[in-house]
Chains A and B, each alone.
Chain A
Amino acid sequence: MEDTQKEATPIEELTFRQAMAELDGIVAKLESNTMELEDSLAAYERGVALLRALRGRLDDAQQKVDVLMGELEQDASDEEIDTTLHKA
């Protein structure tokens, strides 16, 4: 119980990878079947919160492109790409 509370960084502060890793850790700990019921329930609660946050991030994700060098041309549509592909 102490452990979970000590580790409980607010989920917003975790990166996707960290949140995934913590979730994997929780599943592994539950699988080890060595936890007290109270700890299991606390871990489960945390796991569910992590899951919700991770899914939310996937749902909300919008590709961000930072152009550091050069000038990016507008993305051509798939049709345009097909027609401009030079054929030998």
Chain B
Amino acid sequence: MEGAPEEAKRPLTVSQAMALAKGALENCVVTLVGEVSEVSVKPGYKAAYFTVKDTGASMPCMMWTNRYRASGVQLRVGMLVQMTGRFTLYAPKGRMNFDVFSLSMAGEGDLRKQVADLAEKLRKQGLMAPERKRALPAVPHTIGLVTSPRGAAVHDVLRTLRRRWPAARVVLAGVPVEGKVAPGALMTGMKAVVDAGAEVVLLVRGGGSFEDLMPFNDERLAITISRCPVPVVTGIGHEPDTSIADMVADVRASTPTAAAEAAVPSAADVRAQLAAASDRMAALVRAQLRTHEREVDAVVGRPVFKDPAILFATDAQTLDILGDRLHRAIPASVERDRAVLASYGTRLATRGRTLTRAFCMKTDEEGRVLLSRGAALVEGYDAQWKLAASRLNDLSPLAVIGRGYALARNDEGRIVSSIADAPVGSRIAVRVADGTLSADVVAATHDEQTEIPWKEA
């Protein structure tokens, strides 16, 4: 160790080897175009760190903060950039970097554009409509897990499920999640777990670059998710990337762990829920028992159970009072009525006699008046009657006939008062004082004054 001559043959230290490599690399200055796939630009850092890639390779880059600011570019994942720089080594980590001198934008990344176009197409087909999103089963018995069997994601999920809800059975489809075969493998895995009885499917993968996540932007996988008979929860990569699988899933969680948390209740929560149900149930039954107890107590405490006589006490009292009143009321009223009746009898008899006497006197008086008036009337009427009788005799046609006048009637029996009543040739009956003559009209002479006979009569 002290021998200087051996120095040349001695192996290099790590630092020496890295320095050698660094020297060789740093001679190579290139200009290239690539898609930005990872960016780490933080205020405290001395440089901006990012990765660029194409379909075949990826390259870690760093750019000193003053140069980065000077470039005026805001690095974003998916951006296509053109840059000039040289390769270098970061010895402490043994990591190769591309030291960027200058940077400019070279247009939007093609991959992003493709994904955005597909997302738009599927959105138009309604695959992302909010009303399509299904609710997850509250307590799933079987959970389907589709992810890579290697890496952290699968264990993150299993650990979270175990911690929160060990009662759930997990059916796992461990499939490749990167590369060309990934979309088909993910679809096969989904079918396998659904066939095995999964009530919810977790489709997860750990973080990766935009390109790593490309299988989750596959159209066929998107359609398979949208048609899956049970709800699908995604937990793909990390924010802020959102894959198409995330958009069509029923629930999108930001990480695999978050997806597992979304899929199952927490055992602690369920225990608390059970405890609450237990307390509530006991309280309700106790309350009901207390209510019934109070009801029974209330009935037992009623006076009727203590002194049954109370049942009819009021009625008995009422009856007594009524009976008493009745006994007093009946004889008293009869007595009173009898006295009133007797007085009415007396008054009626007195008044009756007075009335009778008065009427008798009045009748006697009127009878006398009537008798005297009646006699006076008879005398008057007698004289009148005699006068009327003599006048009646004077007026009688028979009396006239007795004085020599005759009464002629034609064959119709009508009195002949005109020559027209007894035409020539007709027979007339002539009434005289002592009989009737039958006479034929032989001639008629018309007087000048036909009215005369009426005047004479």
Contacts and interface: CB of A to CB of B under 8 A. Distances in A.
A54 B278 CA distance: 12
Interface in A13-38: 15-17, 20, 23-24, 26-27, 30-31, 33, 35, 37
Interface residues of A, number: 41
B158 A31 contact: no
B152 interface: yes
B40 A75 contact: no
Given A58-B271, A62-B166, 12 more contacts: A16-B141, A16-B167, A23-B277, A27-B281, A30-B280, A41-B285, A47-B281, A68-B172, A69-B172, A69-B175, A73-B150, A88-B40
A66 B285 contact: no
Contact of A44 (B137, B155, B193, B285): B285
B277 A69 contact: no
B169 A16 contact: no
Give the interface centre of B38, B148, B154, B277 by most chain A CB atoms within 10 Å.
Answer: B277
6 contacts: A67-B149, A67-B174, A70-B175, A71-B174, A73-B149, A81-B152
A27 B192 contact: no
A69 B189 contact: yes
B170 interface: yes
Interface string B20-53: 0000000000000000001010000000010000
A6 interface: no
B128 interface: no
Contacts of A69: 172-175, 188-189, 192
Given A63-B170, A75-B159, A88-B38, A20 B288 contact: no
Nearest to B285: A44
Interface residues of B, number: 47
A47 B277 contact: yes
A30 B291 CA distance: 14
B195 to A, nearest CB: 9
A68 B196 contact: yes
A75 B152 CA distance: 9
Contacts of B270: 20, 54, 58
Interface string B407-426: 00000000000000000000
B274 interface: yes
Nearest to A75: B155
B389 interface: no
A20 B139 contact: yes
Going nearest first, the 3 A-B pairs with the smallest beta carbon separation are A70-B174, A61-B167, A70-B149
Given A67-B149, A70-B149, A75-B155, A30 B284 contact: yes
Contact of B280 (A27, A73, A81, A88): A27
Contacts of B188: 69
Nearest to A55: B274
